[in-house]
Amino acid sequence: MASFSRRHFLGGTLAAGGMLAWNGRSTWAAGANEQVNLGLIGCGGRGAELLRSFRKVPGLKVAALCDPDEQHVDALAKEYDGAAKYRDLRKLLDSKDTDAVVIATPNHWHCLAAIWALEAGKHVYVEKPLGQVNWDGRQVVNAANRYGLVCQVGTQQRSDPMQAEIKQFLHEDKTLGAIEKVRVNRFGVRPAIGDRDTPLKPPASVDYNLWLGPAQDEPLMRNALHYDWHWMWNTGSGEMGNWGVHILDDVRNNVFQDSVAFPQRVVAGGGRYGDGDCGETPNLHCALLDTGKYPVIVAVCNLPEKIGGKASPPSPGPGSGYTVYCEGGRFEGQRGQAKAFDADGKEIRKFKGDSGAGHQQNFVDAVRSGSSAGLNAPVQMGHESTEWCNLANVAYRVSGDSSKARGFAQELGVMSDSLMLVEQMKGVAREHGASEWEFHIGPVLTFDGATQQFTGAEAAAANKLLRRKDRAGFEVREIEPAATAAG
């Protein structure tokens, strides 16, 4: 650990001077035709899926596989003969044989793994969400800028050519007229994760200390170690920080054209319902975001409309996507496709995409060029889209005066939409055994993008959730921005 930390410091010094000379050769750029050696950190289902996309990129070699669960590594190694195997990512990052890494760990590792990789001179492709908290994401942005390395976030739809067509349709052609409001949906049923009498013992194949990393060592009361970490605040970000990032990133890209970094006010409500489930993140979650341009209503539902059923409640627009309401009609977007309708509800145009099939090629091209200029999902954009979701999570978790929520919705011109959504979600909650008061509505929070802090009556409680306490030895330290970095 000591030698690794020292090399991190030296790496920062070299990078600040405009040079990276790791392992006797430059990792600033691989060259237009040079082979790129890739390491995967996180060999579960998403990591395996990503590698299958990366291996389609010409001139790329899967050089290393890393996961604290040796069963994951061994299983994936069967597909990549000759790839080095690691349990500890620090040993992979010390390797001379990797130019870039893909990070597909649980959420709680995303930022620290990305920072360590950048400090070790590796280019980084990191899955969304970029981080669970605002502080961590900002440090990744600072690290990528300070060390001059490529850092792409896995919001792959940014590489879908369809997105350019959508932006032209909405903002240049203006076929539907002025944009008025946006509705975002992620409706998809997820099963309960269990609620044990005694804590789960991690599998013998897992180095649990490494699996935890910066997360706290809390009793595991769910039935499975893997994947269901999504629904605990210690390790995950809920559905808002899972699918929500993809959809809100589409909204930021296509509707706002990345002109709004952070919402300026947010209110949220919801809860977690259903028997046999120890999860903490809401499986019903609604939020209203004041962006300063168009109001955005977000609805997340992981429960079936009826107990024992398989179908989600009905939703306006795509069940997993977004609807842009305009003066002259509406636009409905989702992964890989979209439709536009006039004011009478007649379909007037279809859009067809490839769901971002070229996202991995885009990253490798940037690595070869040594420049982030051509990235479709640079880390700054990934951080901002992630924060829209993280702020909605904070608004859900903070208790306070909810009496201003109605006035907030009325001010933004979405009172009717908001009331209909809340009543629908309360109905689903009641179906799953909740009483009226168990559907939590939080206070309206104000966020200052310049200071990256909440302000107002509930600011103290909200600001505590913008940074977390990391375990010793796995802390996300402060990285000076490149413009003010010493040396």
CATH of the domain at 290: 3.30.360.10
DSSP E strand boundaries for 133-250 = 151-153, 179-187
Tokens of 4: 């690794």
Does residue 75 lie within any of the structural domains? yes
The confidence band for 484, taking pLDDT boundaries of 50, 70 and 90, is low
What pLDDT is stored for residue 482 in this prediction?
85
Final residue of a structural domain among 130, 158, 186: 158
Does residue 280 lie within any of the structural domains? yes
Residues 259 and 401 in one domain: yes
Tokens of 85: 């195997």
Residues 148 and 8 in one domain: yes
Query: Could you tell me the pTM of the whole model?
Result: 0.93
Residues 36 and 126 in one domain: yes
Mean pLDDT for the chain overall: 93
Share of the chain above pLDDT 70, in %: 92
Residues 196 and 122 in one domain: no
Tokens of 87: 């349990």
What is the C-alpha separation between 128 and 377, in angstroms, rounded? 11
Digit-coded pLDDT (tens) for 452-466: 999 999 999 999 999
Residues 336 and 235 in one domain: yes
CA 218, 219, 220 angle in degrees (round to 5)?
Answer: 110
What is the C-alpha separation between 454 and 444, in angstroms, rounded? 11
The H or E element spanning position 45 is helix 45-54
Residues 192 and 254 in one domain: yes
Digit-coded pLDDT (tens) for 36-68: 999 999 999 999 999 999 999 999 999 999 999
Give the strand pairing for 60-66 and 36-41. parallel
Please choose, from the candidates 468, 453, 442, the residue with its C-alpha nearest in 3D space to the C-alpha of residue 133. Answer: 468
Digit-coded pLDDT (tens) for 306-316: 999 999 999 99
Residues 9 and 127 in one domain: yes
Which domain CATH number covers 129? 3.40.50.720
Digit-coded pLDDT (tens) for 89-117: 999 999 999 999 999 999 999 999 999 99
Final residue of a structural domain among 134, 158, 182: 158
Residues 66 and 203 in one domain: no
Q: Look up residue 231 and give its DSSP letter.
A: G
Contacts of 447 (CB under 8 A, 6+ apart): 262, 263, 264, 265, 266, 391, 453, 454, 455
Does residue 380 lie within any of the structural domains? no
Q: Look up residue 230 and give its DSSP letter.
A: G
Does residue 477 lie within any of the structural domains? no
CA 66 from chain centre, in angstroms, equals 21
Residues 33 and 15 in one domain: yes
Does residue 363 lie within any of the structural domains? no
The confidence band for 485, taking pLDDT boundaries of 50, 70 and 90, is very low
Q: Which domain holds residue 8?
A: 2-158
What pLDDT is stored for residue 487 in this prediction?
44
What pLDDT is stored for residue 122 in this prediction?
98
What pLDDT is stored for residue 33 in this prediction?
67
Does residue 364 lie within any of the structural domains? no
Residues 107 and 199 in one domain: no
Quote the number of domains for the chain: 2
Residues 104 and 130 in one domain: yes
Final residue of a structural domain among 129, 158, 187: 158
Tokens of 225: 């170690």
Residues 187 and 292 in one domain: yes
> Does the pLDDT of residue 14 top 60, yes or no?
no
